[in-house]
Chains A and B, each alone.
Chain A
């Protein structure tokens, strides 16, 4: 296991739900939980992953996501079982969609 922590500045999200949960912890997949965070213009991300050594790619994937979507004021927790960047990006978009009620 590897634990990764990131923080990105981002435009504030407009939550429509208290929290959103998406995905499953299964091989090649991941589970993501979005909750309200402490800073309105920042997003903190903590990742528990079964695959070691991919910190750089995680950072790039999430930085890219935070630059494309308003995710400020959120705290994101990810439990990963070897999801590819494609899966990570999709799950982030799905969870954020649920969290904001589709408004992005």
Chain B
């Protein structure tokens, strides 16, 4: 018998953790860190080449810790491997420009997309991969487990328990992966209180906390002012409701964040109710608390909403509608991005959202030249989960349209809703996505396609609805897409005869085929036409951020 290998240590991560904690202790640090000493702590517990998770999504940001890390000495801290949901703040990019971090695995970069692309071209950053949220969270528990995580919470008590408030978002996933694999958890909090409203993260999972000099930043990303919704968007919303929601009886769904889907939300109490759809569609949601859903909730159209995060100004409204939203015993919302994304992937029958470009195979992308924007959660919601086993009428109908009456699985409805031209007459429908050029110029393994064409079931434009489930050949699919692509070059190059045949077969449906009078496509059909209307619908519970108050 061979003796076990005596050299292999089986607790090196725990030892590493101990080493870091001892360094911190030797400098006099206890659990509560004095605000001015945060850099000193970070330099003590983080080591070069560490994998560091910086919390920040498109809403809540650990902005103070991010700035502190970016201000650290690059001779002490360098070659960090950042793993984070979103690259949104200037300080996130500063980390790479200042040589503190060198590698990045992430999901979404929104506003920093341009700077990120330049860093890649200048070889100042190595991108591991661009993920969906669930994919990235999954990897935190497999091969991207953080050594240190820097998170944000609303409040802490003296023992170190954390209260995240309504914007729990990514915190549980990050802390779970770090705290239970020998990592160090550092939290920035807005305030230290005697008694927390509720405990979202228990104290023994948290190593250090610091009271930030200002509350963490939260972006009101999901507020769409109804005043900006156009008549064309109302027309498209009417078509979607009649041609898809009603047709499939879609009860469980997720909406994108654009004005197109905001228009649908505002037609639920009016047009959809008039069609007799109340209670038959849109009852259960995986959705952030969109203010534009208030009229539908108040009209009794909605039964349940689980949220990825909260939305600025919606706190009191949510607390007062606990039958609808998930709330803690304290009354305030409990969000959780990982669970809501899972719900969006597996428990919803439809995703509907917008995009910037669609090609002839139905692939869609929000990547444009010179910007690496990433995906966020759209590909989780906007994909058909082949592992799904439970049936629903919508899922079965879609599956049978695609696979015939003997289909052994259903299909999620994945709907792209776009006007054929964006601003400045940029066509949405293109022969080739910019994603392919981006792949070349950035040296990526894959083009950054947001939603794969073979997952897309319907495309809605002002010209009509294309049902791709019913297409039987790639040629039919291409002509179905051209047939709703309007007067873009792609649309003008349609085979008119074939498009007319597709229309006879119900694969393409125009407003008139759906019995929609274009004269009703008017903003007057919206349940709310301004943010002030939303406040009124909420009985004064919704408190919109200042930038949305124009009265």
Q: Which of A5-13, A38-46, A73-81, A87-95 contacts B (4 or more CB under 8 A)?
A: A87-95
Inter-subunit contact B462/A97 (CB<8 Å):
no
Known A54-B425, A61-B487; contact A86-B517, beta-carbon cutoff 8 A: no
Contacts of A102 in B (CB 8 A): 517, 519
Prevailing SS type, chain B contact patch: loop
Q: Is B486 in the interface zone, CB < 8 Å from A?
A: yes
Rounded to whole angstroms, the CA-CA distance of A90 and B425 in the bound complex is 17
Within 8 A of A (CB), among B482-537: 486-487, 492, 511-512, 517-519, 521
Q: Is B230 in the interface zone, CB < 8 Å from A?
A: yes
Within 8 A of A (CB), among B432-458: none
Inter-subunit contact B521/A90 (CB<8 Å):
yes
Rounded to whole angstroms, the CA-CA distance of A27 and B508 in the bound complex is 31
Known A90-B231, A90-B235; contact A84-B425, beta-carbon cutoff 8 A: yes
Q: Is B421 in the interface zone, CB < 8 Å from A?
A: yes
> Number of contacting residues on B, CB 8 A?
20
Contacts of B230 in A (CB 8 A): 28, 87
Q: Is A60 in the interface zone, CB < 8 Å from B?
A: yes
Inter-subunit contact A94/B519 (CB<8 Å):
yes
* B419, B425, B461 pick with most chain A CB within 10 angstroms: B425
Contacts of B231 in A (CB 8 A): 87, 90
B483 → A minimal CB distance (Å): 12
Q: Which chain A residue lies CB-closest to B234?
A: A90
> Number of contacting residues on A, CB 8 A?
18
Inter-subunit contact B518/A85 (CB<8 Å):
no
Inter-subunit contact A97/B519 (CB<8 Å):
yes
* B487, B512, B521 pick with most chain A CB within 10 angstroms: B487
Inter-subunit contact B517/A97 (CB<8 Å):
yes
Inter-subunit contact B521/A85 (CB<8 Å):
no
Q: Is B144 in the interface zone, CB < 8 Å from A?
A: no
Within 8 A of B (CB), among A45-104: 54, 57, 60-61, 64, 84-87, 89-90, 93-94, 97-98, 102, 104
Q: Which chain A residue lies CB-closest to B522?
A: A94
Inter-subunit contact A86/B519 (CB<8 Å):
no
- Nearest first, the 3 A-B pairs at minimum CB distance are A86-B462, A93-B518, A85-B487
**Cross-chain pairs A/B with CB under 8 angstroms, 25 sampled:** A28-B230, A60-B492, A61-B487, A84-B419, A84-B420, A84-B425, A85-B486, A85-B487, A86-B232, A86-B419, A86-B421, A86-B461, A86-B486, A89-B462, A90-B231, A90-B232, A90-B235, A93-B511, A93-B518, A94-B518, A94-B521, A97-B519, A98-B519, A102-B519, A104-B512
A residues bordering B, Cβ < 8 Å? 28, 54, 57, 60-61, 64, 84-87, 89-90, 93-94, 97-98, 102, 104
B residues bordering A, Cβ < 8 Å? 230-232, 235, 419-421, 425, 461-463, 486-487, 492, 511-512, 517-519, 521
**20 further contact pairs, Cβ within 8 A, besides A60-B492, A85-B487, A89-B462:** A54-B425, A57-B487, A64-B487, A84-B419, A84-B425, A85-B421, A86-B232, A86-B419, A86-B421, A87-B231, A89-B463, A89-B486, A90-B231, A90-B232, A90-B462, A90-B518, A90-B521, A93-B518, A94-B518, A97-B519
